[in-house]
Amino acid sequence: MESYLKDIWDIQKKILELEILQSSNENYKNIKDEIDTVFEILDSNLENKMKFTILTIFKVIEILIEEYSINNQATYDKFVSLFQKFNLNKYNHEISQLVCTRNFLAHAGDFRASCKNSVVKKPTKENIRTWFKMLQTILEKIDK
């Protein structure tokens, strides 16, 4: 098994053990279901597995935004609000990259005006590992 896949497996395992993901809360059940697919996607022969993984990580953050009722803001501002709520501002740069990369991939290469100052990252193993680790940190912080 590739080292990055081992890292993904370890991160996934730690996330799935979090107390909040054992609750009966529907949003946390959905998060658990999404997280449960990450390793399987990356270890598959799917043609666009990196893109699917980015969309999965993004979906989890969208569910968190829904859970914490952050409304009436642009997408990036919703993410920033979530990060501020849990004192995770050190990830503003990474979240900006994730949002812009997801938008670029999901909208057939359409470069959004809100991303003009952000870097759209290629969906590489290293970027996936960074974003998944970021998601782990977010969920651990919320779990406390």
For 4-13, the pLDDT digits (tens) are 899 999 999 9
Pairs from 95-102 (Cβ < 8 Å, separation ≥ 24): 95/61, 95/134, 97/121, 97/127, 98/54, 98/57, 98/58, 98/61, 98/131, 98/134, 99/58, 99/75, 101/54, 101/127, 102/54, 102/55, 102/58
Mean pLDDT computed over 87-95? 71
Half-sphere exposure of 75 (CA within 13 A, CB side): 17
Report the pLDDT value the prediction gives residue 130, as an integer from 0 to 100.
Answer: 87
Neighbours of 128 (CB within 10 A): 23
Please write the tens of the pLDDT for every residue from 9-58. 999 999 999 999 999 999 999 999 999 999 999 999 999 898 899 889 98
Q: What domain range is 120 assigned to?
A: 3-143
Report angle CA 51, 52, 55 to the nearest 5 degrees.
90
Please write the tens of the pLDDT for every residue from 55-89. 899 899 889 888 886 666 776 677 777 777 777 76
Question: How distant, in Å, are the alpha carbons of 40, 50, 77 from that of 45?
Answer: 10, 11, 35
Mean pLDDT computed over 98-120? 67
Domain count, the chain: 1
